[in-house]
A and B are shown apart, each in its own frame.
Chain A
Amino acid sequence: MLTNILALQHPHFGAIAQAWLLSKAEAFIVMANGEVLASWPPYADANAITLESDIWVGHSKIGKLCVVGLQGEEAQARLQTQAALIAAIVQSTSVLRDVTTKLIDTQDQLVAIYDLTQAMRKEIDLDKVLKSLLFETVRLVKLGAAFIIIQRSNEPWITHQYPEEMLDTITLKGMLDLVGETEQYLLLSEEDEKGNGLAFRNLLLLPISLHDENQATLGFVNKLDGDFLFPDIKLAQAIADNVGARIENALLHNNRLKQAKMQTEMELAQQVQLNLLPHEMPVVPGVDFWASSCPASQVGGDFYDFLQLDNRPFTFTVGDISGKGMPAAILMAMTRTVIRSNIYDTTLHTPEYIVGRSNEHLYDDFTEVSMFATLFVGQYQPTKKKLLYANAGHSPVVYCPLGGTARLLEADGTAVGILPTSFSENQEIVFVPGDVLVVATDGLSEAYNKEEEMFGYDRLLALVEELAAKSAKDIAAELYRTVNEFSIGTPQFDDQTVMVLKGVPI
């Protein structure tokens, strides 16, 4: 300590020595630990010292000032004063050095945080942000390893570590138990009781609060150059504060990506479902046919279908799966397939059989998911001029004979999936040119207007009667138009499907 001051302040020591020599002293010597550090003139005899004064810094003696050839109280007092002055200079220098060290540390930290921010700002992907955070942290704080755990409410945890696979899941979980309710940081070393058995020399854990009840923990393992000291903890806290916002941004970005992916999948599902509905209308002798469907959400539970097989009656179906969205859409695809397989059977089956068999096939699955499907299956044979149908809980089905009154063809059995056995039986109506059959779904009849009035069956019956002279396509279009006009300003709550059969001369 004294050597440093002597080297730095050599000319001033020289001036003090000259003053002593002018006062007839033979020599001026600076000593520490029994050794001569400097003397004026050089190589003075340390054994001939006549006056000496110790230099005290705090409670330690760091050396002494000595004079050869002079004695007396006055000279002793002068030497003591100079020793005290040098002690004060040594102390000030030491304070200045501490301050400088701290300043450098702070600057280092600022540079570290800047580096870290720069490394992370290029990334928005959560995995990459965390990887870069841990890599930079290990480098800047000089660590054996670092890890981060993000606990998200109702979602799996995210954990990352650098170097990879250094800590197993159980160890990481143990870390979280240690952090517990800690608000600032938790510092553990192998000597601590809590740190025992951790197999780490030392460990610094910092909780990071995130939005939406999410919580992250940043862990610093094994400081390479000793213990975690105050500046390390300050740096760790600064890093933790900085990464919180980054993690939140990345989580938000992740959520957006997920939503975009779901949206794409939903659009794909919509495409698949749209392709399940026939677009080309069939040419059936004796029937002008039209059908279309309009789901309330992207995918829906309504469907229509028809099959024209050689030497078999023209078979058509309309169904409505309870509920909406993806679950309804999946069951709609399933129901359509089961019905088709019953129609395609080698034996010709009537609507009653098709509905009954479909119910048997679908009952367990529908019960499992607490859903059901209303179903209307019809068959038309041109030569017989009659229409055979079975109605499993489906409405509205409107029949309007030429020049007659429109009426509802009510179901005689419950929807598919409600009872293990279907009650629906074959029903028959005359179907000749001019007759109209409209098989719609309740999304149409139960559309609401702003005054909370339902479109209802009376309006529907009157409308079909009024439109009966038009073509199937026009009747369908007018039904949609009228209902949309009625419910203008209110959202479409349910899927809407309309199938129209109009009798025409063969």
Chain B
Amino acid sequence: MEIKTRRVDNVTILELNGRFDSHTMPPVRDILQKAVLEKPASIVVNLESVNFIDSAALSALVSGMKQSRQADGDLRLCNLQQPVRMIFELTRLDRVFEILSGEDAAIEAFNNQDSTITDQ
């Protein structure tokens, strides 16, 4: 599986490609473990090119989400394909993750949150 990472406006963006399962999960988990140490731990995982996700991959995302929230950040998802979206719905993980329709929207959400904090 191909993994691209970049940083835009203090947000770490992971773009994944292909089958996201127990075999392809370890490098993603390692990247996420480093990303949650950033300040702020703002992460967006773009799943636009992911056609399958299994429970091991979900647990890597859940773990990244839990750790980033502990560091006052978040891990957000965007561009879920229908089969992947269905997995999130069936496992009710759509209740846990903030899922957005586009990468810009996901980054924007972080920026708005930041400005809200500054305003306060």
Report which A residues bind B (CB closer than 8 A).
Answer: 320-324, 367, 370-372, 374, 393-396, 408, 410-415, 418-419, 423, 442, 446, 454, 457, 493-494
Q: In the complex, what residues of B have CB within 8 A of residue A411's CB?
A: 90-92
Q: Which residue of A lies closest to B32 (CB)?
A: A370
Q: In the complex, what residues of A have CB within 8 A of residue B83's CB?
A: 454
- A sample of 19 more A-B contacts (CB under 8 A), given A374-B55, A410-B92, A418-B62, is A320-B55, A322-B58, A323-B22, A324-B22, A370-B29, A370-B62, A370-B63, A371-B59, A394-B91, A408-B90, A410-B89, A411-B91, A414-B95, A414-B96, A415-B91, A418-B93, A418-B96, A442-B55, A493-B54
Interface of chain A, helix or strand or loop or mixed?
Answer: loop
Q: Which residue of B lies closest to A366 (CB)?
A: B59
A373 to B95, CA, bound (A): 16
Of A322, A413, A423, the contact of B55 (CB 8 Å cutoff): A322
A291 to B66, CA, bound (A): 34
Report which B residues bind A (CB closer than 8 A).
Answer: 21-22, 29, 52, 54-56, 58-60, 62-63, 66, 83, 86, 89-93, 95-96
Interface of chain B, helix or strand or loop or mixed?
Answer: helix
Minimum Cβ distance to chain A for residue B4 (Å)? 23
A230 to B91, CA, bound (A): 75
A418 to B91, CA, bound (A): 11
Q: In the complex, what residues of B have CB within 8 A of residue A413's CB?
A: 92
If the complex has contacts A322-B59, A370-B59, are A454 and B52 also in contact, measured as CB distance less than 8 A?
yes
Of A371, A374, A419, the contact of B91 (CB 8 Å cutoff): A374
Q: Please determine whether B95 and A370 come into contact, CB atoms closer than 8 angstroms.
A: no
A423 to B93, CA, bound (A): 11
Q: Which residue of B lies closest to A441 (CB)?
A: B55
A180 to B9, CA, bound (A): 48
Q: Which residue of A lies closest to B51 (CB)?
A: A452
If the complex has contacts A411-B92, A413-B92, A419-B96, are A372 and B59 also in contact, measured as CB distance less than 8 A?
yes
Q: Which residue of B lies closest to A411 (CB)?
A: B92
Q: Which residue of B lies closest to A391 (CB)?
A: B92
Q: In the complex, what residues of B have CB within 8 A of residue A412's CB?
A: 92
A446 to B54, CA, bound (A): 9
A494 to B53, CA, bound (A): 12
Q: Please determine whether B91 and A324 come into contact, CB atoms closer than 8 angstroms.
A: no
A322 to B86, CA, bound (A): 17
If the complex has contacts A324-B56, A442-B54, A442-B55, are A372 and B62 also in contact, measured as CB distance less than 8 A?
yes
Q: Which residue of A lies closest to B90 (CB)?
A: A395
A338 to B90, CA, bound (A): 24
Q: In the complex, what residues of B have CB within 8 A of residue A396's CB?
A: 90
If the complex has contacts A370-B29, A370-B59, A374-B55, are A393 and B22 also in contact, measured as CB distance less than 8 A?
no
Of B55, B56, B90, the contact of A410 (CB 8 Å cutoff): B90
Q: Which residue of A lies closest to B58 (CB)?
A: A322
Of B66, B86, B89, B95, the contact of A367 (CB 8 Å cutoff): B66
Q: Please determine whether A395 and B91 come into contact, CB atoms closer than 8 angstroms.
A: yes
Minimum Cβ distance to chain B for residue A440 (Å)? 12
A361 to B59, CA, bound (A): 18
Minimum Cβ distance to chain A for residue B106 (Å)? 20
A103 to B66, CA, bound (A): 76
Q: In the complex, what residues of B have CB within 8 A of residue A457's CB?
A: 86
Q: Please determine whether A423 and B95 come into contact, CB atoms closer than 8 angstroms.
A: yes
A–B complex contacts, Cβ < 8 Å, 18 sampled: A320-B55, A321-B55, A323-B55, A367-B63, A370-B63, A372-B55, A372-B58, A393-B93, A395-B90, A408-B90, A410-B90, A410-B92, A411-B91, A411-B92, A418-B62, A418-B93, A446-B54, A494-B54
Q: Which residue of A lies closest to B95 (CB)?
A: A414
Q: Which 6 A-B pairs have the closest CB atoms?
A: A370-B63, A322-B55, A395-B90, A322-B59, A393-B91, A323-B56
Of A323, A442, A494, the contact of B59 (CB 8 Å cutoff): A323
Q: Which residue of A lies closest to B89 (CB)?
A: A410
A338 to B58, CA, bound (A): 23
